[in-house]
């Protein structure tokens, strides 16, 4: 539960306003770290994701924060003031805890149960909350988690090296949807997921675009299953324009360092009877070298 609480507060890079009193924010301000996520400029405990609002310096170089006081009627929630614009804000601004009268630990406990598959009605019966309240907490926490992920992970600073992608179908009430996911194998970092009612090229392309937004280098090894859309999407997305100075759209070239390995499972009577591994882009020697360097196995395997 502590991990989820830290993620909801935005402590994704080891930074907590509750423990440091925003000292780290001042250090980041002195180092001129630009905060642009969500159009905010306050470096709260989410490092630019937590606080926001209408401010004329939003998106500019922020110059520091200092403790301003406590929220009216609260002895636990602190307020801070931007030294550039003079705007004040609560430390929970922009997080799922903002303006919540329920104890933060209780909200975290409820969200933890939801993420582990606890039925909504069971939580309503156990805690006595209104069903709409719990659903609102879940939606707000999901949006905040997506924003933190986009701000921290999807900034093109992750050394992926080896990526595995796969998709699965998820049962819902009266229907099922497909979820495509990708992971950086050496660090076990989850790069993102996309949900769609259909398993098509649009779904896979959206996932591959998320992988590209995380990548520090496009020279990576990608291992996927037998779905042909993966190969098409990775080849299309992992391209760069070749600008010649002439008129018209520049020609797009495939990234030379992109390696793609595919695993095809042959089934009979809903059972896997054989597996075929093949190299789509690159060579066996290049793929083996990446697997050996990253310590992520000896053969091509999907997620």
**How deeply is 19 buried, as exposed, middle or buried, from its count of CB atoms within 10 A (0-12, 13-18, 19+)?**
exposed
Q: Measured between alpha carbons, how far is 293 from 289 in angstroms, rounded to an integer?
A: 6
d(CA 269, CA 33): 57
| pLDDT of 212 higher than 50 | yes
Q: Tens of pLDDT along 50-99?
A: 444 445 444 444 445 555 555 555 556 778 777 777 778 888 888 889 88
pLDDT digits (tens, 9 = 90+) for 105-125: 999 999 999 999 899 999 999
* pTM of the model as a whole: 0.73
CB contact at 8 A, 40 and 51:
yes
């Amino acid at each position: 539960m502590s991990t989820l609480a830290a993620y909801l507060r935005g402590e994704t890079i080891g930074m907590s306003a509750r423990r440091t009193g925003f000292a780290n924010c001042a250090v980041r301000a002195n180092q001129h770290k630009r905060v642009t996520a969500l159009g905010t400029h306050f470096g709260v405990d989410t490092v630019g994701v937590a606080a926001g609002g209408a401010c004329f310096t939003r998106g500019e170089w922020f110059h520091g924060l200092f403790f301003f006081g406590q929220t009216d009627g609260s002895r636990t929630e602190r307020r801070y003031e931007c030294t550039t614009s003079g705007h004040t804000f609560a430390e929970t601004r922009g997080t799922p805890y903002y303006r919540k009268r329920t104890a933060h630990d209780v909200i975290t406990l409820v969200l933890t149960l939801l993420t582990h598959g606890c039925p909504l009605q069971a939580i309503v019966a156990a805690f006595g909350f209104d069903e709409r309240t719990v659903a609102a907490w879940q939606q707000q926490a999901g949006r905040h988690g997506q924003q933190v992920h986009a701000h921290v992970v999807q900034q093109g600073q992750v050394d992926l090296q080896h990526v595995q992608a796969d998709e699965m179908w998820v049962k819902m009430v009266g229907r099922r949807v497909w979820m495509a996911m990708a992971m950086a194998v050496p660090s076990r970092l989850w790069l993102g997921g996309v949900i769609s009612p259909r398993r098509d090229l649009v779904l896979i392309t959206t996932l591959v675009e998320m992988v590209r937004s995380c990548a520090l280098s496009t020279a990576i090894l990608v291992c996927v299953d037998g779905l042909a859309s993966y190969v098409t999407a990775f080849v299309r997305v992992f391209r760069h324009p070749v600008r010649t100075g002439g008129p018209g759209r520049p020609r797009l070239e495939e990234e030379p360092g992109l390696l793609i390995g595919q695993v095809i499972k042959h089934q009979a009577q809903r059972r896997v009877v054989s597996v075929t591994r093949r190299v789509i882009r690159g060579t066996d020697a290049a793929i083996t070298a990446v697997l050996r360097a990253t310590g992520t196995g000896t053969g091509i395997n999907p997620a």
